[in-house]
Amino acid sequence: MKRESQDLAGQSTNRPYLRRCRILVPLIGFAFLALPSRAHASFLHGETLDTVAGVIAWFAFIIVPPVLIGVFLLVHILPEKVAEKRHHPQLGAIKCLCLLSLCFGGLLWPIAWLWAYSKPVFHKMAYGTDVDHSHEQTGGEKSATTELEQLRVRVAELEAEIKGGKA
């Protein structure tokens, strides 16, 4: 009860002050607005302003377009990279769709993105797995040369069989 009476007493003493503030603050604000002042559109003047504008124009015309084209290309190969990382069996088709998306201005890109993250159900039904390791890089030239040597040996054996059968 005592506290309420103190609050009411405090409010009564603050009321005239609040009334004066409510009147004075807008009046001071209007006075500052009414004072004449110079408007500055830029902090630069004269030749400096022309130089800075030239630099910004060169930057906008020379540097920004190649950067935007590069970012556009990098974004459009993201589904291909995702499919490669996930060993997607339809990697070739996703690559083709990414290229087509570049030609069509990116309209096909969301389809390629979804396709790269999808699980290939029919591939799993046909081959028993939903990943494909055939597009991974193998041993390189070493395995190719050994495979070539094996094929040459097999061809020589078959030729020997044919010659042996005719004789």
- The reported pTM is 0.47
The predicted structure's pLDDT at residue 69: 92
Tell me, what amino acid is at 162? I
Judged against a pLDDT cut of 60, whether residue 10 lies above it is answered with no
Q: CB–CB of 114/92 below 8 Å?
A: no
Q: Say whether pLDDT at 81 is over 60.
A: yes
Domain count, the chain: 1
Structural domain includes residue 116: yes
pLDDT above 60 for 138 = no
Q: Which domain holds residue 94?
A: 63-131
Would you say residue 150 lies in a domain? no
Q: Is residue 68, in this structure, part of any structural domain at all?
A: yes
Q: What is the structure's pLDDT at 166?
A: 67
Q: Is residue 94 part of a domain?
A: yes
- pLDDT for 118-132, tens place per residue? 877 776 666 666 677
Residue 82: pLDDT band (50, 70, 90) is very high
With beta carbons less than 8 A apart as the criterion, state whether 116 and 80 touch.
yes
Distance separating alpha carbons of residues 64 and 51, to the nearest angstrom: 19
Which span out of 20-24, 27-31, 112-116 was modeled with the highest average pLDDT?
112-116
**Is the pLDDT score of 14 beyond 60?**
yes
Alpha helix (H) residue ranges in 44-140:
47-58, 64-76, 78-85, 91-103, 109-117, 121-127
Lowest mean pLDDT among 32-36, 57-61, 69-73: 32-36
84 domain residue, yes or no: yes
Question: What's the pLDDT score for residue 58?
Answer: 93
Identify whether 125 is part of a domain.
yes
Q: Is residue 162 part of a domain?
A: no
Q: How confident is the model at residue 89 (pLDDT cuts 50, 70, 90)?
A: confident
